[in-house]
Amino acid sequence: MSRILALLYGVACYSIFLATFLYAIAFVAGTGVPKHIDNGATAPFPVALGIDLALLGLFAIQHSGMARPAFKRWWTKFVPQPIERSTYVLVSSLALALLLWQWRPLSPLVWNVENGIARAALHGLSALGWLLLLSSTFLINHFDLFGLRQVWFHARRRQAMDEPFVTRAFYRIVRHPLMLGFLIAFWATPTMSLGHLLFALMTTGYIVVAVKFLEERDLVALYGDTYRDYQRRVPMLLPWTKRRAVESETVTRKRVDAIKPG
C-alpha cells in the first residue's frame, strides 16, 4: 500500500507542477489567464518592487537550495528516497505558484512593438523558447526530472539507477538548452513592461549564476573528466560563444608563432 501511495503522491506532485507550469507560460505571455505579469493588485512602486524581488529571491533560494546534494543527504533522513524528487517538484511548484499569485505589476513600458508581423514573430519566438525547454527535458529524462520514474520504479519494487551521461540533439550545441529556452521565452515579447523587464533580468541573472557556480559544479563532481571535456567542447548557453573562443585562441596562436624567432 505504501508503494501505491508513493506512486499516487508522485503523480499528484507532477500534476500540480504541470498546472503551475502551463499557467506560468500564460503569465509571462500576459494573456489567457486572469492574473498575469502586467495586471493584478497594484502597490506603490517601492512596495511592488520589494515584493517582486522577495518573491523572486524566495523561489531562487528554494529552487537551488533544495537541489544541492548536501541538502538532499540531510533531507532524505526525513523524506523517503523514492519521493524525494517528487517532494522537490511539489515545493518548487508551490513557490512558483506563490510568485504568480502575489506578483505586483510595474506598468511603465520599456518597449512596445506595434507592427503586427513583428509582434507575431516575437510571440512565435517565445513559443519556440518554451518548446525548446520542454523538448530538452525529454532529451535527458523528463520523468526522472519530475520524480515520476522514481515512484514508478519504487511501486514495481525496483531500484531507479542513475542514468549514464549522454549528449544528444540540442545538448550537442549548448550544455543547458533547457535554460536557454527559458531565456528566449522570457525576453521575446512585443510588449516589455518594467515589471516584465525586472522578471527577465532577475531570472537571467539567477540562471547564469546557478548554472555556472552550482549546477555545473555538481555535474563535474558527479561525472568528473567526462563533464570537464564536455565543458571544453560545448558552450554553456549561447551556441556561438565557444566558436568565438576557439577562433580567438587560433588567431592568438598564429600571432605567437609568427613572432617566434627563427
pLDDT in tens, 173-209: 999 999 999 999 999 999 999 999 999 999 999 999 9
Rg for the chain, CA atoms, rounded? 21
The list of the chain residues with pLDDT below 50 reads 244-262
pLDDT at 163: 77
d(CA 180, CA 178): 5
d(CA 77, CA 79): 6
pLDDT at 259: 43
Residue 226 structural domain = 2-259
**What pairs with residue 112 in β-bridges?**
191
pLDDT at 1: 74
The answer to whether 152 touches 215, Cβ cutoff 8 Å, is no
Per-residue pLDDT of 103-116, as tens digits, reads 999 999 999 999 99
pLDDT at 243: 54
pLDDT at 161: 77
Give, rounded to a whole angstrom, the gap between the first and last alpha carbons of the chain: 80
d(CA 187, CA 189): 6
- HSE-up of residue 238 (Cα within 13 Å, Cβ side): 8
pLDDT at 242: 62
Three cell numbers, residue 27: 503569465
d(CA 155, CA 139): 24
d(CA 245, CA 7): 47
Three cell numbers, residue 78: 526525513
pLDDT at 240: 82
- Burial status of residue 133 (CB atoms within 10 A of its CB: 0-12, 13-18, 19 or more): buried
pLDDT at 116: 96
Domains in the chain: how many in total?
1
